[in-house]
Amino acid sequence: MSDWTWDYNPSEEHVADGLPTGVMAEVERLATELAALGDDAVRIGRPLDREGGLREFDILNGRGFISFLAVPRHRCVYVCNVTWYG
């Protein structure tokens, strides 16, 4: 089990404004899973050819994606943006 956590960056209001409740539930579920991966979260999602930096991960069968930062020194996954196509 990882001791990593997750949070919104810069804030939940900024990232989640106007998104359906079900989408946010999925984002929070995925963020919890990413935090559970710990240091391995820097390799999940796009881009595939390198580690670290801003990553992207599809949500709800490609109907959107999340952008996140996995920061090992903070031991935290930061959800920075949610794009929802509906």
Fill in the amino acid letter for 25. A
Instruction: List helix spans (H) across 5-75.
Output: 12-16, 21-37
**What would the pLDDT profile of 75-84 be if each residue is shown by its tens digit?**
999 999 999 9
Fill in the amino acid letter for 2. S
Q: What does the pLDDT read at residue 4? A: 97
Q: What does the pLDDT read at residue 86? A: 81
pLDDT band at 64, cuts 50/70/90? very high
Q: What is the pTM of this model?
A: 0.93
Q: List, in sequence order, every residue forming a beta bridge with 70; answer none if it has no partner.
A: 77
Contact status, residue 2 vs residue 72, Cβ threshold 8 Å: no
- Give, in degrees to the nearest 5, the angle at Cα 77 between 75 and 81: 155
Q: Which fold has domain 5-84?
A: YaeB-like fold (3.30.2310)
**What would the pLDDT profile of 17-54 be if each residue is shown by its tens digit?**
999 999 999 999 999 999 999 999 999 999 999 999 99
Q: What does the pLDDT read at residue 5? A: 98
Would you say residue 1 has pLDDT above 70?
no
